[in-house]
Amino acid sequence: MYIYINGRIIKEEEAQISIFDHGFMYGLGLFETFRVYQGHSFLFFDHMSRLRKSLNELDIKWDLTNEELLQIVQELLAQNKLQDAYIRLNVSAGPSSLGLPMEAYTSPTTIIYIKPIPKMVSEKEGVFLETIRNTPEGKYRLKSHHYLNNILGKKEIGQAPTKEGIFFTKEGNLAEGIVSNLFWVKDGVVYTPHIDTGILNGITRQFVLRLLDKNGIRYEEGFYKKEQIMNSDEVFVTNSIQEITPLTFIDGQPFLKNTMTKQLQRLYQHYKPLLLTMEGL
C-alpha cells in the first residue's frame, strides 16, 4: 500500500520516522480513524475538529488544512486504486530532545494510513472485562497513542472479530468497549454511559445521539451498573469503521431484539454517502 508521510506519498515499507519522535518516546500523538465510502470521507470535518482540539491540548502546532487533507485522501485512494477505504490519520509530536520539554511542538509527524475495508461482522458477542478502564490522562479522554489499557483488554478476549470486550470504571460503572462506544435500549429508551465516566466521546457516538434527537427518540446519558444493561431489551456498539453493530449475547445471555438497532442502522446507511459533518443533519 501507499501511505502519506510528511508531504510525500510513498510505499509503506519505505516509511521512516525519527527515533526521537515524542509520539514514539512518550506517547504524544493523536489519531482519527474514519471510513471512505465511494470516495466520500464520512463525517470528515467532525473528526478533524476533534483532532485539532486535542492537538491544542498537547500544544502540538499543526497547519494542514481540511481541504489539503481531503486532497491527500483522494490521492491515496487513486494511488491505491480504492474507492472504499479505512483511513487512519496520525499526528505525533515529532522529533525533539531527550526529556520532557515545556515548549510547543512545532515539527509534528503526519502520517495517513490507508487500507481496504476489512470484512465486517453483522453482530458481536459482548464480554465483560476484568481489566478496569483507565482514567483519562487529562480533563477528558483523547484519541491518543496511549492504548495499553485497550490492548490488555483485547488480550482477555483474544483475536476473534465477533467479540467485543466491555470495560467497567474503577467505581463499577459501565464504560465502553475496547474499540467502541456502548448503547442499550429498554422500553424504547436508549441509554449510554456519560462521557464523565472517562470514555472517549466517539464521533459515531455523537452522530447516533444526533440521529436520536432528530427522530424524537428519547435517550439518557448517565452512570450505570452491569445489572442495567443485562436487564435491557437490546444492545449495540458503535465506531467509525464498524458503524452500528448489535451485541446479540453478553456473557452468554441473549439479546436478540434489534428493533432500535436496525432503525439506527437504516438511518446511518442513508446519511453515510452524504455528510462531511453531522452539522448538516
Q: What is the pLDDT of residues 106-146, one digit of tens each?
A: 999 999 999 999 899 999 999 999 999 999 999 999 999 99
Q: What is the pLDDT of residues 10-29, one digit of tens each?
A: 999 999 999 999 999 999 99
Residue pair 50/143 in contact by the 8 Å Cβ criterion? yes
Q: What is the pLDDT of residue 183?
A: 98
Q: What is the pLDDT of residue 271?
A: 97
All three cell numbers of 200: 472517549
Q: What is the pLDDT of residue 209?
A: 98
Percentage, residues of the chain above pLDDT 70:
100
Q: Which residues of 146-178 are buried (b: 16+ CB within 10 A; e: fewer)?
A: beebbebbbeebeeeeebbbbbbbeeebbbbbb
The predicted model gives 45-58 an average pLDDT of 98
The amino acid at 14? E
The predicted model gives 164-181 an average pLDDT of 98
Mean pLDDT of the chain: 97
Q: What is the pLDDT of residue 218?
A: 98
Residue keyed to cell 487533507: 69
The predicted model gives 36-43 an average pLDDT of 98
What is the fold, at CATH topology level, of the domain defined by 2-115?
A: D-amino Acid Aminotransferase; Chain A, domain 1 (3.30.470)
Q: What is the pLDDT of residues 55-90, one digit of tens each?
A: 999 999 999 999 999 999 999 999 999 999 999 999
Per-residue confidence band for 102, with pLDDT thresholds at 50, 70 and 90: confident
105, pLDDT greater than 90: yes
The structural domains of the chain, with segments of one domain joined by +, span: 2-115, 124-280
The predicted model gives 151-163 an average pLDDT of 96
Q: What is the pTM of this model?
A: 0.97
Strand partners, 237: 182, 245
Rounded to 5 degrees, what are φ and ψ at 216? Answer: 65, 30
99, pLDDT greater than 90: yes
Which CATH class for the 124-280 domain?
A: alpha beta
Strand partners, 29: 92
